[in-house]
C-alpha cells in the first residue's frame, strides 16, 4: 500500500492467504511482523505472535484493517455485480464497456464501470464512483491461468482522495484453486 501526499509512506506486507467460500479468510503475514488475521463471516480476529492479546471485532467496525478487508474484495472483481443493473454500453479499446447502476438507493456506491477482455470476458478494469458521481476506485486486474480458470494474480487499485491517493498492489504467487482446505486451517497458529 502506497499512500501519496505529505504523509505518504509505503507499507509492504507479505504472507499466505487462504479463502474458503465467502465466509472463511485467513492471512498469515510474515513480513514486516508475524501476524494472523482471521475472518469468519463478519467476525475478525487479529493476533500477533509476539503479543499475548488478540483483537476481535466485527468486519464493519474494523476500519484499521482496511488492507486486510481490501484483499478479499480485490480478489473478487465481479463482487459488485449482484447489486447492479447491468448495461453493455460499448467498446473500450479491444474490450467491452459494461456499466452498472445500483439496484438499491441505499448502496454505498454509485455507478460502476467494468472493462471486459474481448477474448475471455473477464473484468480487466473496474471503476467505482461514489454516490455523488466522483471516482472512488480504479482497479486493474492481470490474470494467470490456473488449471482452466483465469485467476487475478496481480491487482492494482487506486483510491483517490482529497488528501492524496492510495495505491494498493496485490501480487499472488503459487496460486492454487479448488483444492480442499480443512476448516482446521482457519485458526490462529499461536
Residues 58-106: tens digit of each pLDDT:
876 655 455 555 666 677 788 888 889 999 999 999 999 999 999 998 8
Weakest-pLDDT range from 11-25, 139-153, 173-187: 11-25
pLDDT in tens, 103-117: 998 888 999 999 999
**What pLDDT was estimated at residue 76?**
77
User: Stretch 141-150: mean pLDDT, rounded?
Assistant: 92
**What pLDDT was estimated at residue 8?**
58
Does the pLDDT value for residue 172 go beyond 70? yes
Distance CA 124, CA 33 (A): 32
**What pLDDT was estimated at residue 67?**
52
Distance CA 137, CA 114 (A): 12
pTM of the model: 0.74
SS (H, E, C) 15-56: EEEEEECCCEEEEEEEECCCEEEEEECCEEEEEECCCCCEEE
Of 176, 179, 180, 172, residue with least CA distance to 75: 172
Q: Kindly indicate the confidence band of residue 122, based on its pLDDT and cuts at 50, 70 and 90.
A: very high
Distance CA 2, CA 48 (A): 23
Amino acid at each position: 500500500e502506497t499512500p501519496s501526499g505529505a504523509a505518504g509512506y509505503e507499507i509492504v506486507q507479505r504472507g499466505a492467504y487462504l479463502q474458503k467460500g465467502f465466509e472463511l479468510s485467513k492471512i498469515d503475514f510474515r513480513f514486516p511482523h508475524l501476524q494472523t488475521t482471521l475472518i469468519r463471516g463478519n467476525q475478525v480476529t487479529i493476533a500477533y505472535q509476539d503479543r499475548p492479546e488478540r483483537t476481535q471485532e466485527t468486519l464493519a467496525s474494523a476500519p484499521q484493517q482496511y488492507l486486510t478487508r481490501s484483499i478479499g474484495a480485490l480478489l473478487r472483481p465481479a463482487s459488485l455485480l449482484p447489486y447492479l443493473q447491468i448495461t453493455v454500453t460499448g467498446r473500450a479499446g479491444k474490450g467491452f464497456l459494461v456499466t452498472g447502476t445500483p439496484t438499491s438507493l441505499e448502496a454505498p456506491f454509485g455507478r460502476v464501470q467494468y472493462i471486459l477482455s474481448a477474448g475471455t470476458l473477464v473484468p480487466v478494469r473496474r471503476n467505482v464512483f461514489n454516490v455523488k458521481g466522483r471516482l472512488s476506485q480504479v482497479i486493474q486486474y492481470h490474470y494467470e491461468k490456473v488449471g482452466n480458470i483465469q485467476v487475478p494474480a496481480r491487482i492494482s487499485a487506486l483510491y483517490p482522495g482529497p488528501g492524496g491517493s492510495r495505491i494498493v498492489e496485490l501480487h499472488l504467487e503459487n496460486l492454487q484453486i479448488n483444492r480442499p482446505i480443512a476448516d482446521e486451517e482457519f485458526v490462529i497458529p499461536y
